[in-house]
Amino acid sequence: MGDFLISSKFTNYQYTIYVHVPDIEQPKEGFSIIYILDGLSYFPLAKQVVKLQSRNTLKTRVEDSIVVGICHQEETMRKRRFYDFTAPSEKYQFPERTKGKLDDLNEFGGAENFSRFLMDELKPLIETKYPVNKNKQTIYGHSLSGYYVLWNFLTKPQSFQTYIAVSPSIWWNNRELFRMLKDTSLDELAPLFIIVGEREGFMVEDAKHFYEEIPSMNKQLFVADDENHASVVPTTLSRAFRFCSEVGLNR
């Protein structure tokens, strides 16, 4: 595993990047790669799942992959997530249940800049350092970063070959993703896996509705029995990464 800092000229922010590279001979075409958003929270677990499951790929159907954790600095993480992972908009509308909870936040709408950081700065750097299969790249996000995954899926569908959105915050800005869905050309959709916990209330219905609206055969929805917003991540990582591998094998 390697780690490094990278300062983005697009977001004017410094990220910590964690990298896990399989300790085996690299495939001729390079390793598949999984980019983990909110890496400070999820990279260690994601790395271990890939390491353990890939020891017996024939049974687990999880292949050896490079895992990249994209991390905000802990002291600024909450505010930066709401900037990096949300789309630009002339105004923002929040549901009544969030009243008072977002009062300390004053910057939203940095998703375009964050995408430029991913595509023009981070990915090229990773690809010079490590043997990456550019045809097998996945982005994984949970909650607000799950919203970003769906936004990226709709607006920049060629950025990654597989999209995984776990408990995505589809509620954001008066459910604007549904409006984007109607205005987006969806001729060449990438594979998409949406995961949500059974105990996530309105987020379950949002996820089901969004899934049903996508005109694609290459999609999956999984509602995890008895799981909540926090527990859904550790209980579904193997299933998520299995989806990545199976999509890759079918190319």
Place of tokens 């996000």: 141
What positions carry a catalytic annotation? 143, 200, 229
User: For residue 110, what are its two tokens?
Assistant: 């940095």
- Please state, in angstroms and rounded to a whole number, the distance separating the CA atoms of residues 88 and 82: 11
DSSP class of 131: -
- What is the helix, strand, coil percentage profile of the chain, to 5? 45, 20, 35
Which residues, 6 or more positions from 182, have their beta carbon under 8 angstroms from its beta carbon?
A: none
How many C-beta atoms surround the C-beta of residue 72 within 10 A?
A: 22
Half-sphere exposure of 167 (CA within 13 A, CB side): 20
- Phi, psi (rounded to 5 degrees) for 26: -70, 140
Instruction: Mark 228-240 as b/e (b = at least 16 C-beta within 10 Å).
Output: ebeebbeebbbbb
